[in-house]
Amino acid sequence: MGTTSGLPDASPTVFVVDDDEYIREALETAIEAAGWRARTFASAELFLACPPASGASCLVLDVNMPGLGGLDLQTTIADERADMPIIFITGFGDIPTSVQAMKAGAVEFLTKPFDEQVLLDAIRAALERSQRALGDRSRLRELRERYAALTSREREVMDGVVSGRMNKQVGGDLGITEITVKKHRGRVMDKMRARSLAELVNMSTSLGLSPSGRR
């Protein structure tokens, strides 16, 4: 069953999944002493029943457990919890297993017994990585909201502008005057909060848009 430390929700969350009660309790103590929230689980199945953290988080995961093992859990949550880095711990480390885990995206693979500070350093790095990923996702969500606020004509003008077309060329493509293009372009820059054409191009790339590239 999961446990919480009572720390503020804003604190990063460290999930621990290990079937060894002694390990869980020791890790919970160390994690909370470092200022993070700890949630511990005796099995992968119990962890899967827990909703994801809303903020930065990482997972300290035992490789060998009854039922769903660590590597299988890694595969199971690869998509839905992609922003949560995984640190593997195991008492039976071997090179093929560690390679498999790292290739699948694990950030660290530690063999028991390990130095507590080594684990805490790995957790700190993992949480920083999670925070960056959440920030990137938040910025992309905001970009999508701004783009959704554009009218269909403004999107057409934006497409022409980021393709490198001059205002006169965009007007010719769309059957509107150059002055009208300038007005739409100004509204696009304003709604997208782009300070320059280069920034608008970068926004388009981040959104995965495919400029027409007409010449």
Express each pLDDT in 169-205 by its tens digit: 999 999 999 999 999 999 999 999 999 999 999 999 9
Q: How confident is the model at residue 11 (pLDDT cuts 50, 70, 90)?
A: confident
Q: Are strands 57-62 and 13-17 parallel, antiparallel or unpaired?
A: parallel
Angle made by CA atoms 76, 81, 87, in degrees to the nearest 5: 80
By percentage, how much of the chain surpasses pLDDT 70?
Answer: 90
Provide the pLDDT for residue 212.
62
What is the arithmetic mean of pLDDT over 20-46? 95
By percentage, how much of the chain surpasses pLDDT 90?
Answer: 65
Provide the pLDDT for residue 94.
64
Question: Full-prediction pTM beyond 0.85?
Answer: no
C-alpha distances in Å from residue 189, one per residue of 172, 196, 213: 20, 8, 19
4 pLDDT more than 50? no
What whole-number distance in Å separates Cα of residue 61 and Cα of residue 145?
36
1 pLDDT more than 70? no
Nearest to 48 by CA among 68, 19, 31, 71: 68
| Fold exhibited by the domain 149-206 | Arc Repressor Mutant, subunit A (1.10.10)
CATH architecture for segment(s) 13-139: 3-Layer(aba) Sandwich (3.40)
Provide the pLDDT for residue 81.
86
Every domain of the chain and the residues it spans? 13-139, 149-206
How high does pLDDT run on average in the chain?
88
- Strand-pair partners of 58: 14
Give 47-100 pLDDT, tens digit per residue: 999 988 889 999 999 998 889 988 899 999 988 887 899 999 987 766 667 767
The b/e string for 65-80 (b: 16+ C-beta within 10 A; e otherwise) is beebebbebbeebeee
What whole-number distance in Å separates Cα of residue 37 and Cα of residue 63?
22
